[in-house]
Amino acid sequence: MQDVTLNNGISMPILGFGVFRIPDDETEAAVLSALEAGYRSIDTAAIYHNEEGVGRAIAKSGIPREELFVTTKLWVQPSAENTKHAFDASLKRLGLDYVDLYLIHQPFGDLFGEWREMEKIHQEGRARAIGVSNFYSGRLVDFLLHTDVPPAVNQIEAHPFFQRTKNQRVMERRGVQMESWGTLGQGKMGVLDNPTLVGIADAHRKTVAQVVLRWMIQRNIVSIPKSVHPERIAENIDVFDFELNDDQMQSIATLDKGESPFQDHYSVEAAERLGKPDDISSGLA
């Protein structure tokens, strides 16, 4: 496994395992398969409603806690003061004393108020690093200018059809690690059937998923692919024994369409849909 070093000096695996939209009753088995395959970074969120399954898998695995990198996320809160309560609820569901990374999940709500509470959690050592998710560049830079602890990570949508090159340059200049969600297109858009990617995969005797993950690694972007199938989980981590050449990297670069097929976080619709508190994720249910 290859690591990246965050702006506070801690190491984070460049490849992790995501559990978005995995039901809680299937999450334990999926995470156990991932840990058995060699993953040591697990990404969940309060709004996924499967932190308990992640916690059960970690407990059953027998892997020392210090060898794992666990991420969870703060959903939009009814008040900034509720942030600590929401964090405590996530820790309880995970069965952990601390997380390695705690992210603001959406760029909506009282962000600066929530961040001040997250800074306290970080100072207490209960979150080794704190960061954000789905922040466009202007919002991220504004955050950096007006916070005491800079975000260590910005987790955003990125895949061959929406590559976020300009966003990555902004983050690199300011010491924020880019992490991608939707790296494989979430099984949509035809990423896995794209002729350019299929040709590169055939040349390396790898799958398209492996090529895309390798492409992200060579861009120094953290990825968190998801699957519930043990063979695919193992396949997705088997990406450290080959390298894409410059021509192949450039061929993939030409696939960028420059817009999201999933969600425009600038839009009124996104604010209305994603800017609402959730009782379970707020620890209120």
Catalytic residues: 48
Find where tokens 């399954």 sit: 53
Beta partners for 74? 104
Q: How far apart are CA 246 and CA 261, in angstroms?
A: 27
Amino acid at the residue 120: K
